[in-house]
Amino acid sequence: MSRFVTCLWMDGQAEEAAEFYCSVFPNSRVISVDESPVDTPGPKAGEVLTVEFELDGRAFLALNGGPGVEYTDAISLEIRCADQDEIDHYWDGLLAGGGREVQCGWLIDRYGVRWQVAPESLYELWRSGDQAATARAFTVMMDMVRLDVATLEAAARGVS
């Protein structure tokens, strides 16, 4: 088991957020819902303080830490997808209920968490050593919002 757990700060929505994320990712589950033993700046004694959950086997903790803390673009969670169907699944799922599209495969979900939804093939291309193909695909990607695998692959081949 990994020692690393990604903690997501929430303002009273930890349980709702964990359930939402588990509905988007296959093989996911809420592990525990823990109440605060004392009054905190977030929840009061007896209210939900943390929710431990797994997204496709990766450990997360949603913390009802209180108001005033927002996410920035400096940290995001990336989902590397096998194909366009996976990109579309995660893109649509994470935007549901009030998310916002950004640019280049980035989005902000309704809880403010930043996500990158990218095809694994893009990383394979970048590591291929074909600098011209990589540059063409990257240039096209910079104008996209949701990434389109077919368009990226066509750009890499030099097809417009």
Query: d(Cα 11, Cα 14) in Å, to the nearest integer?
Result: 7
- pLDDT (tens digit, 0 to 9) for every residue of the chain, 160 residues total? 568 999 999 999 999 999 999 999 999 999 999 999 999 988 999 999 999 999 999 999 999 999 989 999 999 999 999 999 999 999 999 999 999 999 999 999 999 999 999 999 999 998 999 999 999 999 999 999 999 999 999 999 999 7
Give one DSSP letter per residue of 86-97, joined into a string: HHHHHHHHHHTT
User: How many other C-beta atoms lie within 10 A of the C-beta of residue 52?
Assistant: 17
Q: How far apart are the first and last CA of the chain?
A: 46
The β-bridge partners of 106 are 116
